[in-house]
Amino acid sequence: MIYLYQKNKGSLLIEVLVATSIIVTAVIASVGVFGTMAHLSYKNTAKIQAAFLADEGIEATKTLRNASWNTNIKNLTIGTKYYLYWNNHSWNINASTTMVDNQFVRYFTLYNVYRDASFNIVASTTSGSSIDQDMRGLIMNVQWSDEAGTSTKSIDTYLYNLFSN
């Protein structure tokens, strides 16, 4: 009885410590979750940099298109990877891997655009369709690696022989 009476008087020091330890462990674990979140958010900047690089790639191919469609775009092999690099105030195309800031790889591939008799863009399998020689499909890719593997951002658009040059 005396024991029970004593028990009701309050918590033992050890009980308070056990409770505190459990709470502290829970708090530290939640800090760990925050750390994981922070780690993910550190990776976010690369995505934004890659998005701008892809966007820049589109404009860069357009400067090449503007300069001369026949010289710069028309002769490129469909499906081949081409890399862009900035040199001497102009955009240039390279067939071997070219890095941006030793972190990103930016390359593009071209594909043929097919049109039907009414000049609508159609699938290559459509009967009676033919390749539009003044247009190419353009896929701009930016690739980078982190510990989780390789990520890619792509933009798919069209290039047109705007200046008939």
Partner 1 sequence: MRFFNKQKQNMKVKRGGYTLVELLIALFISTLLAIAVSQATTSLYSTYKNVYALREIESGAISILDRLTREIKNSTSIDLSNSVLDSDSGRVSLNVASSTGSYNTKIYLSNSRLYISRDGIELGPLSPSDVKVTLVNYSLINSNNNTATGLRVELVLESPDNSPTDWSKTFYATAIMRGTY
54 burial via Cβ count (<10 Å: 0-12, 13-18, 19+): buried
- Asked if 108 and 140 touch (Cβ cutoff 8 Å), the reply is yes
CB of 55: closest distance to partner 1 in angstroms? 7
Question: Looking at 1, 10, 26, 49, which residue binds partner 1 (CB under 8 A)?
Answer: 49
Please work out, in degrees rounded to the nearest 5, the angle formed at the alpha carbon of residue 112 by the alpha carbons of 106 and 114: 145
Paired with 112 in beta bridges are 136
- Asked if 154 and 160 touch (Cβ cutoff 8 Å), the reply is no
Among residues 59 and 156, whose Cβ is nearest to partner 1? 59
Among residues 13 and 148, whose Cβ is nearest to partner 1? 13
Residues that bind partner 1 (CB under 8 A): 2, 6, 12-14, 17, 20-21, 24, 27-28, 31, 34-35, 37-38, 41-42, 44-45, 48-49, 52-53, 55-56, 59-60, 62-63, 66-68, 86, 88-91, 100-101, 162-163, 165
